[in-house]
């Protein structure tokens, strides 16, 4: 065969081979619609599987990603491949946390896809339209809860969506400060039907003024006779201011501590002088003077025989009265004012027994101690109150009342 013929045959073979190659390329090239997380595009594939197409497009699949059809499926011309990335959704409902994986791209779609029902009135930390990124999302859901409130001793109810006790109190418009006590704690989780107790605690200062009673001092005085007393100085009560630190819970005092005492007026002692001078012995009665019997006149008649009655008896002069020390002005009379009041107090103090002496250091119907009795001049009547009469005890009580009121008597309320 000539060279030109051979050349033509060779050229025909090359052309034929080229034709066959182009036909094969046409057969292998497939158009595929690709949607990756909602972004659509058209790509060309030359056989293989869905996974091969995604690999060539740089799409990496994770364990929670979803691809349709599956990555092992063969690719057909005109096929649509859909890829949806998995997203981690951490949902905390009223403090209880759970983790989900979803291919939804918004909060609303995820809740619907996962079947999470939050109920009417629930509060979400993100809107339903918020997009969920590839890194996922933390979502907090607070459902309505009815709680019982005991605030300052007063009961009420409230419906809140708060997850903690402190937020529940804020939603219920309950104000409190750091002194108040909250039970359970402010950070505790709120549950439906729970009781929240808040005790109002106030810490304040309190100032009171108290009377300082005066003392009665008995001094010996040699210028007064034994048994005599004399008031040298009137007593005067003092005063002091006491400061307390007071804690109140729901208006009632639960703690009180004295922090300072300041004397604003010193008391003045009542001074009573008590005589020690011995009384003089009484003067002896004077002796009676001798009297002479008159002689009868001389007459012619015989002297009459004197009868027993004719001679006057000598008169015996009356003895001079002995002088005794006069009582002081304080015993010149009895003061029976307020007698009814003292009878009532005596009924409480001693069941009305004005001569009682039980050995407890208090005597008489009004239960005087000896220091008060003697200091108020009771020694003018008797050495002890129970040895004096009711009227004398009332007189001494009125003296004490003039200086100190009813403060010394525990039964002052009976007045």
**Segment 82-123, tens digit of pLDDT:** 998 889 889 888 778 888 899 888 888 888 887 776 555 678
Q: Judge contact between 81 and 69, C-beta under 8 A.
A: yes
- pLDDT top residue among 78 and 284: 78
Is the pLDDT higher at 286 or at 235?
Answer: 235
Q: What is the pLDDT of residues 344-393, one digit of tens each?
A: 999 999 999 999 999 899 999 999 999 999 999 999 999 999 999 999 99
Q: 285-316: per-residue pLDDT in tens?
A: 666 665 555 554 444 444 444 433 333 444 44
pLDDT value of position 308:
39
Element (H, E) at 242: strand 238-249
Which residue has better confidence, 47 or 230? 230
Rounded-to-integer distance, Cα 330 and Cα 399, Å: 10
Domains of the chain and CATH, by start? 27-85 (3.10.20.30), 87-142 (3.10.20.30), 145-199 (3.10.20.90), 204-277 (2.20.230.10), 333-414 (1.10.530.10)
Q: What share of the chain is helix, strand, coil (3-state, %, to 5)?
A: 20, 35, 45
Inform me whether the pLDDT recorded for 4 exceeds 80. no
DSSP assignment, residue 72?
T
Structure tokens of 265? Answer: 């007026």
Using alpha carbons, list the distances in angstroms from residue 51 to 47, 65, 71. 11, 13, 4
- Output DSSP code: residue 131: B
Whether pLDDT at 408 is above 70: yes
Q: How far apart are CA 71 and CA 68, in angstroms?
A: 8
The DSSP string of 307-368 is PTTTSPPPP-PPPPPPP-PPPPGGGSS---TTHHHHHHHHHHHHTT-TT-B-SSS-BTTTTB
Distance CA 285, CA 320 (A): 6
- Sole residue written with tokens 């104000």: 175
Nearest residue to 125 via CA among 163, 160, 158, 98: 163
Residue 157 backbone class (left: φ over 0; alpha: ψ -120 to 50; beta: rest) = beta
Query: What does the pLDDT look like over 120-155, one tens digit per residue?
Result: 567 887 888 888 887 889 888 888 989 999 999 999
CB 53 within 8 A of CB 77: no
Q: What's the whole-number mean pLDDT along residues 225-251?
A: 92
Predicted model pTM:
0.41
CB-based contact 283:320 (threshold 8 Å): yes
């Amino acid at each position: 065969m000539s060279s030109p013929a051979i050349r033509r045959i060779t050229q025909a073979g090359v052309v034929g081979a080229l034709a066959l190659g182009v036909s094969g390329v046409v057969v292998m090239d497939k158009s595929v619609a690709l949607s990756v997380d909602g972004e659509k595009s058209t790509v060309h594939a030359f056989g293989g599987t869905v996974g091969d197409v995604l690999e060539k497009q740089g799409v990496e699949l994770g364990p929670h990603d979803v691809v349709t059809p599956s990555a092992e499926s063969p690719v057909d011309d005109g096929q649509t491949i859909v890829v949806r990335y998995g997203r981690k959704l951490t949902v905390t409902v009223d403090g209880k946390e759970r983790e989900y994986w979803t291919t939804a791209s918004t909060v609303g779609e995820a809740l619907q896809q996962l079947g999470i029902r939050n109920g009417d009135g629930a509060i979400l930390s993100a809107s339903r339209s918020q997009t969920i990124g590839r890194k996922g999302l933390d979502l907090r859901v607070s459902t309505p809860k009815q709680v019982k409130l005991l605030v300052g001793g007063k009961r009420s109810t409230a419906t809140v969506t708060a997850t903690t006790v402190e937020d529940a109190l804020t939603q219920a418009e309950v104000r409190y400060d750091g002194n108040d006590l909250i039970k359970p704690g402010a950070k505790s989780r709120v549950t439906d039907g729970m009781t929240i107790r808040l005790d109002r605690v106030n810490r304040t200062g309190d100032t009171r003024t108290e009377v300082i009673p005066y003392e009665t001092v008995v001094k010996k005085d040699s210028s007064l006779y034994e048994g005599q007393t004399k008031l040298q100085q009137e007593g005067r009560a003092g005063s002091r201011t006491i400061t307390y630190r007071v804690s109140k819970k729901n208006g009632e005092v639960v703690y009180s501590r004295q922090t300072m005492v300041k004397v604003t007026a010193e008391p003045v002692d009542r001074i009573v002088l008590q005589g020690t001078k011995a009384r003089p012995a009484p003067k002896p009665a004077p002796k009676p003077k001798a009297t002479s019997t008159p002689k009868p006149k001389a007459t012619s008649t015989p002297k009459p025989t004197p009868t027993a009655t004719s001679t006057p008896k000598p008169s015996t002069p009356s003895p001079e009265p002995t002088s005794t020390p006069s009582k002081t002005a304080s015993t010149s009379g009895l003061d029976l004012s307020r007698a009814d009041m003292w009878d009532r107090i005596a009924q409480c103090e001693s069941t009305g027994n004005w001569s009682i002496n039980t050995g407890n250091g208090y005597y008489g119907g009004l239960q005087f101690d000896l220091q008060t009795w003697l200091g108020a001049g009771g020694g003018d009547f008797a050495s002890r109150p129970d040895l004096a009469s009711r009227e004398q005890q009332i007189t001494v009580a009125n003296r004490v009342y003039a200086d100190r009121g009813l403060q010394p008597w525990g039964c002052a309320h009976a007045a």
